[in-house]
């Protein structure tokens, strides 16, 4: 290789470097990330669930939207989930007492499950026999009434369900600990404590004479 050729090559290298350097520094848009070698690595073509994407061209919204799936319509409920129709207020309490019925029969399996759940979640306040003599009950500012007292003997199963589901007074809601089916089985056990010779639940209509007729629709 003669001297002239070497000079030409080194000159080309210098100009090349200057060209590369000026192309990366002389950007028009200071926010531009520069050349993207694999744009789909930066901007994934996949769409997120339940997100509406706005399409922008030349800095303006085109009015087109991209969406992976539609938002569920109002009132959609998960499969297998049954909403509770009664609001947590006086009317809801009265209506629950009036219209709610235990769908589970008082057979040996349901009673056994109810007792097991009662011992886990209720016994420390309400006591083994339901006489409000649990270990925690004595520490409460207002201990629960006995299941065998006149007030709770007259309580319809629907009102019981409502109070266990939402809570009442200083008793908190148990809807996160026990399912609706489990609440009904616990109620079977409570009724067994109240009526050891067989369930004689009070007639709801007679007890709830002040019930409001309007049933709250689920929103």
Contacting positions for ligand HEC (CB under 6 A): 121-122, 124-126, 136, 140, 142, 144, 152, 155, 159-160, 163-164, 168-171, 174, 178, 186
Closest C-alpha to 55, from 67, 37, 40: 67
Closest C-alpha to 156, from 210, 88, 85: 210
Judged by CB, which is closer to ligand HEC: 2, or 166? Answer: 166
Alpha-carbon distance of 99 to 197, in angstroms, equals 25
Q: What would the two tokens of residue 150 be? A: 């006149």
Nearest distance in Å: CB 129, ligand HEC: 14
Judged by CB, which is closer to ligand HEC: 61, or 89? Answer: 89
Judged by CB, which is closer to ligand HEC: 52, or 205? Answer: 205
Residue 29 contacts by C-beta under 8 Å, 6 or more apart in sequence?
A: none
Position with the least CB separation from ligand HEC = 169
Q: Hey, how many other C-beta atoms are within 10 angstroms of the C-beta on 204?
A: 19
Judged by CB, which is closer to ligand HEC: 35, or 151? Answer: 151
Nearest distance in Å: CB 110, ligand HEC: 14
Alpha-carbon distance of 161 to 70, in angstroms, equals 36
Nearest distance in Å: CB 153, ligand HEC: 11
Nearest distance in Å: CB 68, ligand HEC: 41
């Amino acid at each position: 290789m003669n001297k002239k050729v070497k000079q030409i090559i080194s000159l080309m290298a210098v100009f090349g470097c200057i060209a590369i350097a000026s192309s990366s520094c002389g950007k028009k848009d200071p926010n531009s990330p520069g050349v993207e070698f694999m744009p789909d690595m930066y901007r994934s073509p996949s769409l997120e669930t339940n997100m509406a994407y706005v399409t922008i061209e030349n800095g303006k919204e085109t009015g087109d939207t991209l969406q992976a799936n539609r938002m569920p319509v109002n009132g959609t409920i998960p499969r297998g989930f049954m909403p509770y129709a009664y609001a947590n207020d006086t009317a809801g309490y009265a209506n629950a007492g009036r219209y709610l019925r235990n769908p589970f029969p008082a057979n040996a399996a349901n009673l056994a499950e109810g007792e097991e759940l009662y011992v886990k979640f209720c016994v420390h306040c309400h006591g083994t026999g339901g006489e409000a003599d649990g270990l925690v009950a004595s520490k409460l500012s207002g201990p629960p009434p006995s299941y065998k007292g006149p007030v709770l003997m007259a309580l319809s199963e629907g009102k019981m369900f409502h109070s266990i589901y939402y809570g009442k007074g200083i008793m908190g809601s148990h809807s996160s600990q026990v399912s609706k089916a489990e609440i009904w089985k616990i109620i079977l056990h409570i009724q067994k404590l109240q009526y050891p010779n067989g369930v004689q639940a009070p007639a709801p209509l007679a007890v709830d004479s002040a019930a409001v007729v309007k049933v709250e629709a689920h929103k």
